[in-house]
Structure 1
């Protein structure tokens, strides 16, 4: 491959990833509104994290997102007020608590997951099954490589960045 062709290929990858991320963000905004109208992206990100990892200590969720406990506490308060998240006593440590989705929070997140899955089915329905498998394999490979090279899906720090990078 020539240097010029090399640049064109990498430019095409960069462009297509940018298009994918913009579309994913738009989809994420719609999904957030399905959970609760006006839901903050950071709160939605916390819900996604809890959906897959709950029950979990606030410090574990903060570490997963690369943010401080103060950020988690602010978002947690908003989600508790909406009845989507609750604190439970930690059975292993009476001084600590665990975060978990309420039954209503789980119901709403289940509905979002079903809607997202149906959207992917509709988008990829015309593709041969082997192509869909190849896409999944290549995306997993890309994500592993990004993780190995220290590229996080969510920037570290103590900002309000719990928002999902793609919502996918």
Structure 2
């Protein structure tokens, strides 16, 4: 196995990843997704609902860590999601001091609408890609993400 890689390839990979992260984190990207889904959800709440849907039951501190925001902001936003009926919170079975969130039935419908909208938008972007190319990209990104998280 090769332990050193071509620095030019690594710089190009890093540049592509930075471009992706910056594009994904643009507020307009979330606004476009919410509009495409046709749902009444504040753009700032969307990443939290997505995190709870993907990782729940999940506490405020973990959501804050995953989204790169402070836990006091996340706590207020989670309370708003609960007020809107999109999540439910209860004491953790492992630690009663922690309130964990799960997506409610209403929240699951909203997440389904967001997922469908994401798929429509992705199909527009990836129209010229073959299924084989997309599958290769999926496999390589999954491998990279798994290695990065280790």
TM-score, with length taken from structure 1:
0.63
Name the structure, 1 or 2, with higher relative contact order (CA <8 Å, separation 6+). 1
Residues paired across the two proteins, number: 138
Residue number in structure 2 paired with 1:45: 47
- Aligned-partner Cα distance in 2 for 1:138–1:23: 20
Consecutive unaligned residues of structure 2, counting only runs of 5 or more, are none
Q: Once the 2 structures are TM-superposed, how far is the Cα of residue 111 of structure 1 from its aligned partner?
A: 0.6
User: What pairs up with 1:1-168 in 2 under 5 angstroms?
Assistant: 6-26=6-26, 27-32=29-34, 35-40=39-44, 43-54=45-56, 56=57, 58=59, 62-63=61-62, 65-66=64-65, 70=72, 72-87=74-89, 98-148=100-150
1:38-95 deviation line (CA, Å, top 9, x unaligned): 332xx323211221234x253xx633653786555322212122332223577x69x6
- Aligned-partner Cα distance in 1 for 2:54–2:140: 23
Residue number in structure 2 paired with 1:155: none
- Aligned-partner Cα distance in 1 for 2:77–2:134: 36
Q: Once the 2 structures are TM-superposed, how far is the Cα of residue 135 of structure 1 from its aligned partner?
A: 0.4
Q: SS where residue 66 of structure 1 aligns?
A: helix
- Aligned-partner Cα distance in 2 for 1:15–1:70: 32
Task: Describe the shift of the 1:71–1:135 C-alpha distance in structure 2 as closer, same or farther (beyond 3 A).
Answer: same
